[in-house]
C-alpha cells in the first residue's frame, strides 16, 4: 500500500517507553567489552556490515515510506528523495572508499627528524551515542550510523519519539541487521535520552536544537568525550539584481516547502532588492500554483504536502504567523490552517521587518518571509547581527557579487543559485558553525568524525636528535643554534 493511500490514522502521541537504566548499562557494558573486536575489523568486514544494512533498507523501503507517512504524511517521493536515496548514496560512497580511508596516511618530516618516518592512523573512538531528530527520522539517523560503523565503532541509537512509527521501523531494522553488542536501539522520550547521556560514551553525536545540544555537550564534558552537534538556525536567501527570478522562485519554493518546511537547511527568509520584490512574489505564487494547486482547497487536498509533526509544532508555527500578521506582515498567499490535521498552507509573507515575531527564531514550518533591501550592506548587517546560520543561499549571475557575500558572511554551508543541494554531496562536509553546530560529517568527513587520528612517528635509523642530548655544552649548544638559524 502506498503511503498516500494508507487509511491508517495519524498517530498524535509518542509511544511511552520508561527508561530501563539497568538495561542501558548492560548494553553499554556489552558494547564496551566488544569495542576492541570491532575496532580491529578489516575494511572487508566493515563493508560486509554496510552491505547487509543496504540490503535490508532496499527490501523494506515501502515499509519505511509507509511508517514516515503515518507519522506526518510525508509524500512517498519525498521519502525516496530525502530519506532513502541519500542514505544509499552515503552507503555506496562509503563502501567504495572505505579501504582507502582506513590506510595510514604518510606525512612529511622536518629536517631535524631525518631518519624517522611519520603517519596518521585512524582508530575507532569506541562506543558512540547517536541521538537523531524527527524531521528526517531515517536519513539523519542512518548517515551518522554509516560513518560510525565505517570507523569501527560500537553504536547506541536513540530515534525521536515524535515519529513513533518510524522509530519502531528503525528499531526492528537494526535488530534484524546487527547484534546488540555492535549496534543497539533505545526508543522513548526525553527520559530515555537523559538516561543514555549519563553513560560514559566515547563520542556523542546529536542532531536537533541548540537547547538540547547544550545538554548533550554538558554530558560529554563530564566524560571528556568528543561531541558533534548538528543544529539549525535561520538560513538566509540573498537575491541580487542579476538573479534569474523565475529559476530562483522555483528552487526556493521547492527547498522551503518540502517536508512542510521542517528542514534544518530550509530557506528561512528572503532578502530581495526592493525593485525586484513584486516580480519575485508573483513568480513565487505562480510556482506554488504549479506545485500544489491553484486554490487553498486544492493545496490542502494535495498529496504532495507533508504535515507539521505534532500539535505542538503546528500551534507554534501558527502562533508566530498570526502575531507577525498582526504586526503588519501581509499574507501574499497561503495562511490557511487546520489544527486537527496539522495542516498549514505554504505561506508567503511580504512587508516583513526584522523585529517581527517571524524573524525571531528558526521557523521550521511552511512560512516564508520576504524582506527587501536597497544596499547589500543592510543584508550583511542583519545576517551578522544574529547567530551564524547552518546554510546560506545566494542567487546571482555576478561572480564578484557572490564572492563579496562570502567575504562578508559566514555559515555552515552555502549554495549559489540553488538550495539544499550541498547536503546531497558526500564529498562535502555537512555541519554548522557557532550556534548552528559543532563538527561535521558525510563521506570521509563522517569517517574522520567517528575516528581518533593517532599520530605515529617511527625511528628505524640513527636519530639526529641525539646530538641535542644533555649536557647542553660545547657541540650541543652549537648544533642547537645552527638548527634555529636554519629556520630564520
Closest CA to 333 of 307, 302, 295, 372: 295
Widest CA span in the chain: 92
Catalytic residue among 78, 90, 182, 230, which?
230
CA distance 172 to 164: 12
Catalytic residue among 78, 161, 182, 264, which?
264
Query: Burial of 1 by CB count in 10 Å (0-12 exposed, 13-18 middle, 19+ buried)?
Result: exposed
CA distance 14 to 163: 7
154 is a catalytic site residue? no
Sign of the Cα torsion 16, 20, 26, 31 reads positive
Q: Quote the strand ranges of 410-488, DSSP E.
A: 413-416, 430-431, 437-438, 440-441, 451-459
Hey, is 452 helix, strand or coil? strand
Closest CA to 281 of 249, 258, 251, 244: 249
- What is the grid cell recorded at 436? 548552528
CB-based contact 404:376 (threshold 8 Å): yes
230 is a catalytic site residue? yes
Query: Any idea which residues carry the catalytic annotation?
Result: 230, 264
Amino acid at each position: 500500500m502506498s503511503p498516500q493511500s494508507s487509511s491508517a490514522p495519524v498517530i498524535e502521541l509518542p509511544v511511552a517507553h520508561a527508561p530501563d537504566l539497568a538495561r542501558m548499562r548492560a548494553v553499554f557494558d556489552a558494547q564496551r567489552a566488544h569495542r576492541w573486536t570491532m575496532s580491529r575489523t578489516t575494511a572487508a568486514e566493515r563493508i560486509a556490515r554496510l552491505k547487509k544494512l543496504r540490503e535490508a533498507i532496499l527490501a523494506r523501503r515501502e515499509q519505511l515510506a509507509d511508517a514516515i507517512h503515518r507519522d506526518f504524511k510525508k509524500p512517498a517521493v519525498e521519502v525516496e528523495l530525502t530519506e532513502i536515496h541519500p542514505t544509499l548514496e552515503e552507503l555506496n560512497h562509503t563502501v567504495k572508499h572505505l579501504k582507502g580511508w582506513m590506510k595510514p596516511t604518510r606525512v612529511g618530516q622536518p629536517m631535524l627528524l631525518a631518519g624517522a618516518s611519520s603517519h596518521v592512523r585512524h582508530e575507532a573512538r569506541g562506543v558512540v551515542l547517536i541521538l537523531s531528530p524527527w524531521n528526517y527520522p531515517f536519513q539523519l539517523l542512518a548517515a551518522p550510523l554509516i560513518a560510525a560503523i565505517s570507523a569501527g565503532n560500537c553504536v547506541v541509537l536513540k530515534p525521536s519519539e515524535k515519529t513513533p512509527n518510524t522509530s519502531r521501523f528503525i528499531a526492528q531494522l537494526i535488530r534484524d541487521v546487527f547484534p546488540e553488542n555492535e549496534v543497539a536501539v533505545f526508543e522513548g522520550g526525553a527520559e530515555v535520552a537523559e538516561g543514555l547521556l549519563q553513560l560514559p560514551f566515547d563520542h556523542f553525536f546529536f542532531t536537533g536544537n541548540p537547547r538540547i545540544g547544550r545538554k548533550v555537550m554538558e554530558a560529554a564534558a563530564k566524560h571528556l568525550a568528543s561531541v558533534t552537534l548538528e543544529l539549525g538556525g535561520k538560513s538566509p536567501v540573498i537575491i541580487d539584481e542579476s538573479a534569474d527570478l523565475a529559476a530562483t522562485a522555483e528552487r526556493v519554493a521547492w527547498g522551503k516547502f518540502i517536508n512542510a518546511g521542517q528542514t534544518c537547511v530550509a530557506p528561512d527568509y528572503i532578502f530581495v532588492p526592493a525593485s525586484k520584490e513584486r516580480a519575485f512574489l508573483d513568480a513565487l505564487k505562480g510556482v506554488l500554483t504549479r506545485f500544489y494547486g491553484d486554490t487553498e482547497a486544492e493545496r490542502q487536498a494535495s498529496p504532495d504536502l507533508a504535515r507539521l509533526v505534532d500539535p505542538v509544532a503546528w500551534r507554534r508555527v501558527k502562533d508566530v504567523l498570526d502575531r507577525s500578521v498582526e504586526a503588519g506582515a501581509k499574507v501574499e498567499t497561503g495562511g490557511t490552517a487546520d489544527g486537527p490535521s496539522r495542516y498549514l498552507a505554504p505561506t508567503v509573507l511580504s512587508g516583513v521587518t526584522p523585529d517581527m515575531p517571524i524573524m525571531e527564531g528558526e521557523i521550521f514550518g511552511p512560512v516564508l518571509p520576504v524582506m527587501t533591501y536597497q544596499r547589500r550592506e543592510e543584508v550583511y548587517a542583519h545576517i551578522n547581527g544574529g547567530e551564524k546560520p547552518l546554510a546560506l543561499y545566494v542567487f546571482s549571475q555576478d561572480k564578484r557579487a557572490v564572492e563579496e557575500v562570502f567575504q562578508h558572511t559566514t555559515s555552515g554551508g552555502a549554495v549559489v543559485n540553488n538550495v539544499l543541494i550541498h547536503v546531497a554531496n558526500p564529498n562535502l562536509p555537512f555541519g554548522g558553525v557557532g550556534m548552528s553546530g559543532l563538527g561535521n560529517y558525510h563521506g570521509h568527513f563522517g569517517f574522520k568524525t567517528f575516528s581518533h587520528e593517532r599520530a605515529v612517528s617511527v625511528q628505524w635509523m640513527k636519530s639526529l636528535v641525539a646530538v641535542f642530548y644533555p649536557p647542553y655544552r660545547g657541540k650541543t649548544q652549537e648544533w642547537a643554534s645552527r638548527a634555529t638559524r636554519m629556520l630564520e
